[in-house]
Structure 1
Amino acid sequence: MIELTASEVAQATGGRLAADPQVRVTGPVVADSRLVETGSLFVALPGQHVDGADFAPGAVEAGAVLVLAQRELGTADAPVPAVVVDDVQNALGDLARFVLARLRDAHPAVHVFGITGSVGKTTTKDLLGLLVQGPDPEDTIAPRGSFNSEVGLPLTVLRGTEKTRSFVMEMGADKPGDITYLASIAGPQVAIILAVGTAHIANFGSQEAIANTKAEIIGGVRDGGSVVFNADDERVMGLVPRATARGLRTVTFGRVPSADVRAEDVTVDATGRASFVLRVRAQVAAAGEVSDDVRVPVRLRLVGEHHVSNALAAATAAILAGQPPAVIAQRLADAEPGSPHRMAVTERPDGITVVDDAYNANPESMRAALRSLAVMAGRERRSVAVLGEMLELGDGSRAAHDAIGRLVVRLNVKLLVVVGDGAYHIHEGAMQEGSWGEESVFVPDLDAARAVLDERLRPGDVVLVKASNGSGLWRLGDELAAGTIGAHGESEQAGEAGAAR
């Protein structure tokens, strides 16, 4: 973070100062006491199970010079230097808003990208961060993982320094109003709306409500800014009038012919990696300085045809920031997965390929991952899907899980392992669609899944692990990638012989 005095922190948050006003925060702002460094500001967030204030004395011992808290801390003999506020989470947002405004005042070139949508936010954020990265690593802040909440986004902003010129941020939502709040902190120059799906639909009630929530980002875009829309998603395109009503520039991406930034001639190879021609309309490319559409070939290293859409979204935003299409194509070709548990492919020494996409799941992302599994396995290898629950689907949960099970059968996945009671209807759907014998197995928990996989995996298998993060299947993804579950170097013949016994 840029250096601030304790007095400035109190000013930004409206808090009461219980510290030397001239104490200077020179280190990172953290909400986890284990991440404290010398000069840090520790944010003592209250929680359902633990109270961050209980860790404040230890944070100060570890080097924190100031604590943001909801009550005075320490004792008369050992006071904890603090700014005391009514609500720590809101104060964190106020501090981020204050710091970003100061950075923008000092450096008008500071550019903020905001990304929202039901699927693809983190991958698009990772790609866009690479596309706009300058020569100095501190030029661009695009954090690893999903820092897209009321806590994560402010912490992302507060990572900025005097060298930062680009912030690439996700904006997630559990309920209406969440993105309005996040956009009020970030105030993006460029907003990207990726998709309107069914993630968290239990909290919203309908896809229309989800669309309205995603549209909240439009209200936070700075005057004169731009909004990037997915032309392949009708619900997203239905939001365009809201941007034009504000006088914002609108640019579209997709595979339909009408898209301003388009993927043509899309192909997918046997490893599940897509290639396409990136076509950019003349009026979008190079700020309108060319008379003809620009076409450049792209080959992605990311696994899954669905990443074409993410790549297009990131490319469109980067073009609006002035990056030439040729540079974008080269950087897309070099891009590897930037965050864990997102179509991360591991080729094990025993011949098993692990595709770990277990960070999160909804019906749209589950279908995309299963199609990628089918492509990667082809006709020569055995496909294995280890699937867990898709959370927060509300009344449609049973039907959504059933549909995934039926898709597994239609894609001819050879072995389905369904983990956890909440995912049972995936197994039920597969059985109803015509799965037979031991092609589909239901197990109640991770331990039972480990036992099945340890017994039945063999060299040559392609294994997908996919579920919502709360199901915990990411642990299986880690263990499979590490080689602690499965064939353990057995020959294919030995594996088959063992299965025959």
Structure 2
Amino acid sequence: MSAAILRHPALREWPADPRDRLPLTLWDAAAIAAAVGGTASGEFQVAGIEIDSRDVVNGDLFVALRGEAMDGHRFLDQAFANGATAALVDRPIDRPHVLVEDTARALQALAAAARGRTEARIIGVTGSVGKTGVKEAIFASLERASRGAAHGSTRSYNNHVGVPLSLARMPARSRFAIFEMGMNHAGEIADLTRQVRPHVAVVTTIAPAHIENLGSEASIADAKAEIFAGLEPGGCAVIPADSPHFERLAAAARAAGATIASFGKAPHADMRLLDAIPSVNGGSLVTCEFADGRLCYTVAEPGEHWVMNSLAVMAAVRAAGGDLAAAGLALAEMGGLKGRGARHGIDVPGGKAMLIDESYNANPASMRATLAQLGQTPSHRRIAVLGAMKELGDFAEGFHASLAEPLLAADVDYALLVGEEMHSLARELGKHRAAVLGKPFEWEHCRTADEAIGLLEDFGIVAGDAVLVKGSNSVGLGRLVDHFTRQD
């Protein structure tokens, strides 16, 4: 290299980044041992962390958790065969390891150490509907803006095991990190948010999910608002302006000392929807307004619910100091997640049909939203495979019966109802057997996903059909999705 090049100001004054001093590897043996108060068998470095031996890849630390029915130590051989570098264990083994008294507590300690060492801006996401999709969209936005320096929880790792696992996986050099927090009882999010300690806390929406355990939507709002209690000083609460529980959420945020960034259609919304026009690809062209101006962007995911989700994403990215232009590009490129809106083209007699996979979760609000979207989907015929909605308790019969109205409004040609709880919807639909605006309406009710597969095969999917599959995960409609997409 010539002296002239070395004298160039851009090379002499390359900007220093404090993160450059941080380790490139995720964890080494000494750091793990110090964090968890354990004893390392020797020197090693790990690039990832897993608790399921089937998911282990080369370079991972396998955490051998013990539960009521299963002991992870039984799967150590499989974990090392799959490429684990070391294991976190509560008994000595003849492979690289860190020995502790309790591996679950050690994982919590490793999570705390990861949170303590990071300088990243942390975003926490919760809500009754849409939290996984919003979390993924925020991650995609911030990863694009930071050129790969964002970290996010995977899948729906949002509980007392998934959150500390996601924290422990956070690289020291992360600039942003996004974590999902879920619950089905009061107090659970309070515990999770104390671990995450977000700078920005997002509540997507409040709906009667888990109402069996909480009793009312107001109590659900209170449980979701626990996320604000963990906010770092000066933190921001991102909340839905159109929610009937807006004031309740806002009061909880103010009590935690948070600033508020609301989103929605309401005139008082900080990230306010001005317009949403359906786009040719099935998504929407969105225009929103906020304090600094206006923004126009495309949302690839179809449906009004994704228009509202996008506003939450924009509000969160802005509050975290991210790039709104990068967020717009990320939203334009996002595809549906497995079990949460993924769309599959399947080979059927005469050509292709579309299967919409919403098989992972269901509650009254998300059922209505996805049925409305099905009704707007151009197709030869519309088919709805609806699984039971769980954890509704004494409210279950009424909520299932109330699906008749959005189902009929979606102009569905055939409905397949799966699960005992769907009996009340079947009874309600019996009143509408004749027709909707003169159009025949067929439906059948069965108990299991396997029965549903047979009934749907007998009915026959043909070219141009749109098939929506939605239900609570425990109903098992993912098997139905796999069955028909495997045929493709």
TM-score range, shorter chain: 0.7 to 0.9
What is the CA distance between 1:435 and its match in structure 2? 5.6
Structure 2 counterpart of 1:72, from 91, 99, 113 = 91
Q: What are the residue-to-residue correspondences of 1:74-113 with 2, within 5 Å? A: 74=93, 78=94, 81-86=97-102, 88-104=103-119, 110-113=120-123
Structure 1 distance, partners of 2:117, 2:65, is 24
- 1:303/1:343 contact within 8 Å kept: no
Counterpart position of 2:6: none
Counterpart position of 1:44: 64
- 1:41/1:64 contact within 8 Å kept: yes
What is the CA distance between 1:215 and its match in structure 2? 1.0
Q: What are the residue-to-residue correspondences of 1:228-243 with 2, within 5 Å? A: 228-243=238-253
Q: Does 1:278 align with 2:276?
A: no
Secondary structure at the residue paired with 1:239?
helix
Q: Cα–Cα, structure 1 residues 250 and 411, in superposed 2: closer, same or farther, change >3 Å?
A: same
CA RMSD, 1 decimal: 2.4
Q: Does 1:181 align with 2:191?
A: yes
Counterpart position of 2:471: 467
- 1:103/1:162 contact within 8 Å kept: yes
Q: Does 1:443 align with 2:446?
A: yes
- 2:118/2:173 contact within 8 Å kept: no
Secondary structure at the residue paired with 1:133?
helix
- 2:46/2:59 contact within 8 Å kept: yes
Q: What are the residue-to-residue correspondences of 1:39-438 with 2, within 5 Å? A: 39-60=59-80, 62-69=82-89, 71-74=90-93, 78=94, 81-86=97-102, 88-104=103-119, 110-134=120-144, 138-268=148-278, 272-282=282-292, 294-337=293-336, 339-349=337-347, 350-377=351-378, 381-434=380-433
Structure 1 distance, partners of 2:426, 2:463, is 25
What is the CA distance between 1:392 and its match in structure 2? 1.0
- Structure 1: which 5+ residue stretches go unaligned? 105-109, 283-293, 485-501
Counterpart position of 1:291: none
Counterpart position of 1:488: none
What is the CA distance between 1:42 and its match in structure 2? 1.5
Structure 1 distance, partners of 2:416, 2:346, is 20
Letter in 2 for 1:92: L
What is the CA distance between 1:229 and its match in structure 2? 0.8
Instruction: Report how many residues are paired.
Output: 457
- 2:145/2:326 contact within 8 Å kept: no
Letter in 2 for 1:114: G
- 1:196/1:236 contact within 8 Å kept: no
Structure 2 distance, partners of 1:320, 1:136, is 15
Counterpart position of 1:9: 32
TM-score (normalised: structure 2):
0.86
Query: Cα deviation per residue 1:24-68 (whole Å; 9 max; x = unaligned)?
Result: 342311101233344432111223432112112443455545433
Moved more, 189-198 or 421-430: 421-430
- 1:138/1:161 contact within 8 Å kept: no
What is the CA distance between 1:133 and its match in structure 2? 1.6
Structure 1 counterpart of 2:462, from 442, 458, 466 = 458
Structure 2 distance, partners of 1:137, 1:296, is 22
Moved more, 409-418 or 59-68: 59-68
Structure 2 distance, partners of 1:340, 1:163, is 29
Structure 1 distance, partners of 2:71, 2:178, is 30
TM-score (normalised: structure 1):
0.84
Letter in 2 for 1:9: I
Letter in 2 for 1:372: Q
- 1:68/1:85 contact within 8 Å kept: no
- 1:262/1:312 contact within 8 Å kept: yes
What is the CA distance between 1:161 and its match in structure 2? 2.0
Secondary structure at the residue paired with 1:306?
helix
What is the CA distance between 1:137 and its match in structure 2? 5.7
What is the CA distance between 1:199 and its match in structure 2? 1.1
Q: Does 1:26 align with 2:49?
A: no
Structure 2 distance, partners of 1:204, 1:325, is 36
Identity %: 32
What is the CA distance between 1:447 and its match in structure 2? 2.8
Structure 2 distance, partners of 1:100, 1:302, is 32
Q: Cα–Cα, structure 1 residues 63 and 453, in superposed 2: closer, same or farther, change >3 Å?
A: closer
Q: Cα–Cα, structure 1 residues 266 and 80, in superposed 2: closer, same or farther, change >3 Å?
A: closer
Q: Cα–Cα, structure 1 residues 271 and 84, in superposed 2: closer, same or farther, change >3 Å?
A: same
Letter in 2 for 1:463: V
- 2:231/2:256 contact within 8 Å kept: no
- 2:144/2:330 contact within 8 Å kept: no
- 1:112/1:190 contact within 8 Å kept: yes
Structure 1 distance, partners of 2:170, 2:307, is 30
Query: Cα deviation per residue 1:131-189 (whole Å; 9 max; x = unaligned)?
Result: 11246664111244211112212222222224321111111112222111211121111
Structure 1 distance, partners of 2:433, 2:218, is 34
What is the CA distance between 1:96 and its match in structure 2? 0.7
Structure 1 distance, partners of 2:415, 2:52, is 38
